[in-house]
Amino acid sequence: MRIAMFTDTYLPARDGVVSSILVTREQLQALGHEVFIFAPAPKDDKDREPGVFYFRSRTFKNYDTYGIPLYPTNKSELLREVKAEVIHSHGLTFQGLRSLMAGRNLGLPVVVTWHTMVTEAARYYNFTKLPEWMVTLLMKRYLRSLLARADAVVAPTQSIKEELLVMSPHIRHIEVIPTGVDSVRFSPRNDGSAIRERLGIGNDHMVLSLGRIAWEKNLDLLLEGFKLLRKERGDVKLVIAGEGPARKHYMQRASEMGMADRVIFPGFVTDEDLASYYAACDAFTLASKFETQGLVVLEAMASGKPVSAINYRALKEIVSDGHNGYLFEDGPESWAEATGKALDAPAAVRAAGRAKAEEYSIKKGVEHLVQLYGHAIRSKEERLNKIRR
């Protein structure tokens, strides 16, 4: 099968969307399928990847690894040249719209994966002069139409599927297909000693948070909670790894709270170092209420690390409190308590976390996705045949 993947974000940016695209493409190719990426052009030409079709884009002022492909283009005609059989959009805004237009013009089925709660992100990334409430309203109306017009929709978790059906009740077909986790790459056997030495962790315990450092990630909760945890135990450091528009803000915030020597911001984590970062920590935490799946939590679990996660949306589907991890509410006291438990977690919790991550097989997920592609192709053909009659 020849699959065209449209996305609003791609390398060198690294987030859950990019990670999902990379692991999905790799497994699809391993199964003999061909995948073509259509992505916004990076700011620096050296970051271009051979074989990717790039759209001229404009980068965010304070977030230059993310581009907005807002310029008119006829590049979608390349879909004819690559003989694409199905379009899979991992983007919901500009590339989502472009994928629908290309599907309509070329008679190709369109599958849309819902990766990000973009309706909640409007307040943080509103580059228009419109008020927040209006942007949110317009976004919801647009997304309702986008989801209803797609031939099939992928939700990464059941909770997100339920939210999408409320938002857009006329979705033609929707299935839950989580992004798979490489439980061979992310393993308890990995060695994180070099990362601990690089970060100056010493004999302290290390709590890791990894991902985009952005306003919507609820990192204030981590800092406030860590302040309380530090009062209970002095042998712990918090590592907030990653890049993003709010990194400088949170570095300053940690300094103002008197924790500059205990909260470490190592910056961007390369793909080569990713598994070692998980291996280096004693517990992993995620406070974001923005997650549609929480792939980093599953990667930490696969690495044999106890996790603390906010009791919200997809994360409460993954983490069973006291069994394979620990849940906390949206308050610093609850975070400190759950994360303290994670640091002291018994071997049974670590083993249960690893077992949970192993349920998310990459191969199984991609095989399910291929079946959905087949459904979308047949469904599109049936509708076109009715129109032709």
Strands 53-55 and 58-60: unpaired
Domains and CATH numbers, the chain: 2-180+361-388 (3.40.50.2000), 193-358 (3.40.50.2000)
Please check the confidence at residue 292 and state whether its pLDDT lies above 90: no
Mean pLDDT, the chain, integer: 92
CB 232 within 8 A of CB 336: yes
Q: Model confidence over 298-329: pLDDT tens digits?
A: 999 999 999 999 999 999 999 999 999 999 99
Please check the confidence at residue 165 and state whether its pLDDT lies above 90: yes
Edge-to-edge order in the sheet of strand 86-89: 53-55, 34-40, 2-6, 86-89, 110-113, 152-155, 174-176
Residue 92: closest CA among 135, 143, 30:
143
Averaged pLDDT, 11-35: 93
pLDDT at 117: 78
302, containing H or E segment: helix 295-302
pLDDT at 299: 97
Q: pTM for this one?
A: 0.89
297, containing H or E segment: helix 295-302
Give the chain's largest Cα–Cα span: 74
pLDDT at 290: 86
Please check the confidence at residue 102 and state whether its pLDDT lies above 80: yes
122 or 219, which is more confident?
219
Please check the confidence at residue 63 and state whether its pLDDT lies above 60: no
pLDDT at 389: 72
37 or 13, which is more confident?
37
CB 55 within 8 A of CB 41: yes
Share of the chain above pLDDT 90, in %: 78
Please check the confidence at residue 232 and state whether its pLDDT lies above 70: yes
CB 205 within 8 A of CB 283: yes
CB 222 within 8 A of CB 288: no
122 or 387, which is more confident?
387
Q: Model confidence over 111-156: pLDDT tens digits?
A: 999 998 777 666 666 666 778 778 788 889 999 999 999 999 999 9
C-alpha 383/C-alpha 159 separation (Å) is 30
